[in-house]
């Protein structure tokens, strides 16, 4: 087998230094593999098997002194994994490889803040392989922060404890809130320092995902005009995520429709929770419909449609209220890649794709309205519901997003959340007239008491970086039961916390 798959070799042709690195990295995969009795992770690596030429095979960096910081037993149980702490520490830090792992870095491209990068790829992640849960569901097991790859560009391939624990925490919160998301199995400190603005302890996150196929994966091959590889990728994606569609009249078009459906529902869920992803680049949009890549994301406290946390999002491209717009923009980029597969007649292919794209705004609006009906406890459908929901948005500007919904039924508790309660006071009787009595139970399940509040997250990560995991553990317990009222985790940041900024390059 050639070291560099053919379709990638041409991209690295101008970087002989990278290609030269591939040989030792490749061999390390074998040196690291443990021999011995059959272990508890059984891999079935379909991506590596079925899609040669879409990845580079190379081993993670071995962590010099791994120490397990957090292990997700709930998730391990769901996946049917039984591991002792020592195995988990070694395998989920890259210190050694579980038998059957076939570590690869996946190629992908992407629009970052609107500008196209034809080659991104896993610059600090290694897909160990896929496992089948007891219910037959297939999951990727990926190490993140596990060393440089030919896709690293200027980066060090590493990650610090703080951002990896942050992904663990926020993705677990999303899972507990019922939002489709990648999950986190473990964070292991590597015993190695990484340099950011300052020296920080390094860590590796083990991410579990329905797959790591992104809009950007399709863009990588579309941009190269590699129709054969694009077709192989689409066939693979359909077989993996939408096997029923293999029998559709036009499987590619049906697949686009299915991805639109998943993403529309996902972004509606984010909006309902006041979640701001922060980097909705096309490489961070998963075909599976899971939330992926928790970088500068955060939950909004005071409602403002233009809220942005990311330090690098100067234009507000990924601001709260712009997320549904970017949803459509990103899906249009996916549709463009699929056009050659939709119909041999390009005009017809574009027409078919366009009619799906034209429907996105309406589909999103419907998904949002359905979600708002749940959050407001509105039974059935009424012609006035859209106006009721829209007017709430206007009335609650500035008030804490999470608590406003959580306390909607108790005006005395609601009032202190508002600087000016006038508009809300006018809105409440309209809502009560619509709901009548007895909506509380349903609403409680749609309106969490606890979200990961930014000041709590920061405090937990700061303590963890300094070696104290107790605040992280306490916050994790709270966010795992978001509908349970835990006073200490429900309150907005004290004003001294100031306006929150999150950072990329994490
Ligand atoms: P992200 O912003 O995390 O979605 O990453 C965008 C691109 O940058 C991907 O190709 C990542 O693999 C790469 N990247 C991010 N951080 C690093 C790092 N520390 N070292 C190497 N590559 C990185
Ligand atoms: Mg990414």
| 243-294 tens-digit pLDDT | 999 999 999 999 999 999 999 999 999 999 999 999 999 999 999 999 999 9
Stretches in the chain below the pLDDT threshold 70: 1-39, 437-441, 496, 504-506
Residues 34 and 23: their CA atoms lie apart, in Å, by 20
pLDDT at 444: 82
Contact 227/233 with Cβ under 8 angstroms? Answer: no
pLDDT at 11: 41
Q: Is the pTM of this model over 0.95?
A: no
Q: Which of 118, 124, 142 to mutate to test the pocket of ligand 1 (most atoms within 8 A of CB)?
A: 124
| Ligand 1-lining residues (CB < 6 angstroms) | 120-124, 151-152, 155-158, 279, 283-284, 293, 295, 504
Query: Which listed residue (242, 283, 293, 313) is catalytic?
Result: 283
- Which spans in 377-418 are helix H? 385-395, 401-406, 411-414
Q: What is the 3-state secondary structure (H, E, C) of 173-236?
A: HHHHCCCCECEEEEEEEEEEEEECCCEEEEEEEEEEECCCCEHHHHHHHHHCCCHHHHHHHHHH
Helix (H/G/I), strand (E/B), else coil: 254? helix
pLDDT at 88: 94
pLDDT in tens, 139-158: 999 999 999 999 999 999 99
pLDDT at 441: 61
How is residue 467 written in tokens? 């070696």
pLDDT at 167: 98
pLDDT at 440: 55
Nearest-atom number in ligand 1 for the CA of 295 is 3
283 included as an active-site residue: yes
């Amino acid at each position: 087998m050639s070291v560099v798959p053919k379709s990638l070799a041409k991209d690295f042709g101008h970087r002989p230094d990278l290609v030269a690195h591939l040989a030792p990295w490749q061999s390390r995969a074998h040196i690291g593999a443990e021999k011995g009795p059959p272990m508890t992770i059984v891999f079935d690596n379909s991506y590596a098997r079925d899609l040669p030429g879409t990845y580079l095979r190379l081993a993670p960096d071995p962590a010099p002194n791994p120490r397990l910081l957090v292990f997700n037993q709930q998730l391990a149980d769901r996946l049917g994994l039984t591991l002792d702490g020592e195995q988990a520490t070694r395998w989920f830090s890259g210190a050694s490889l579980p038998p059957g792992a076939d570590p690869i870095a996946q190629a992908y491209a992407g629009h970052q803040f609107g500008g196209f990068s034809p080659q991104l790829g896993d610059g600090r992640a290694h897909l160990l392989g896929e496992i089948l849960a007891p219910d037959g569901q297939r999951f990727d097991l990926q190490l993140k922060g596990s060393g440089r790859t030919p896709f690293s560009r200027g980066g060090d391939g590493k990650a610090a404890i703080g951002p990896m624990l942050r992904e663990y925490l926020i993705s677990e919160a999303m899972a507990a809130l019922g939002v489709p998301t990648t999950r986190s199995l473990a964070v292991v400190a590597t015993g190695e320092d990484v340099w950011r603005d300052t020296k920080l302890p390094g860590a590796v996150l083990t991410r579990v995902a329905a797959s790591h196929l992104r809009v950007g994966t399709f863009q990588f091959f579309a941009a190269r005009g590699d129709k054969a590889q694009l077709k192989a990728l689409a066939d693979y994606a359909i077989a993996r995520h939408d096997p029923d569609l293999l029998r559709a009249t036009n499987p590619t078009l049906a697949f686009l429709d299915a991805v639109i459906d998943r993403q529309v529902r996902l972004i509606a869920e984010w909006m309902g929770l006041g979640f701001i992803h922060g980097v909705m680049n096309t490489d961070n949009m998963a075909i599976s419909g899971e939330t992926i890549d928790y970088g500068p994301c955060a939950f909004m406290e005071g409602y403002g449609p233009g809220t942005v946390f990311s330090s690098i999002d100067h234009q507000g491209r990924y601001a709260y209220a712009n997320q549904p717009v970017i949803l459509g923009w990103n899906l249009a980029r996916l549709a463009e890649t699929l056009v050659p597969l939709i119909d041999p007649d390009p005009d017809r292919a574009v027409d078919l794709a366009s009619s799906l794209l034209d429907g996105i705004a309406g589909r999103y609006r419907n998904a949002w309205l359905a979600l708002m009906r749940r959050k407001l406890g509105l039974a059935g459908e009424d012609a006035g519901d859209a106006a009721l929901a829209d007017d709430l948005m206007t009335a609650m500007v500035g008030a804490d997003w999470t608590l406003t919904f959580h306390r909607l039924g108790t005006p005395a508790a609601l009032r202190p959340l508002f600087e000016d309660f006038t508009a809300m006071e006018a809105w409440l009787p309209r809502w009560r007239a619509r709901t009548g009595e007895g909506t509380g139970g349903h609403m409680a399940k749609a309106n969490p008491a606890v979200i990961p509040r930014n000041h709590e997250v920061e405090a937990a990560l700061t303590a963890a970086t300094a070696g104290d995991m107790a605040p992280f553990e306490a916050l994790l317990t709270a966010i795992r039961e978001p509908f349970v009222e835990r006073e200490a985790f429900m309150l907005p940041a004290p004003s001294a916390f100031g306006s929150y900024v999150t950072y990329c390059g994490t």
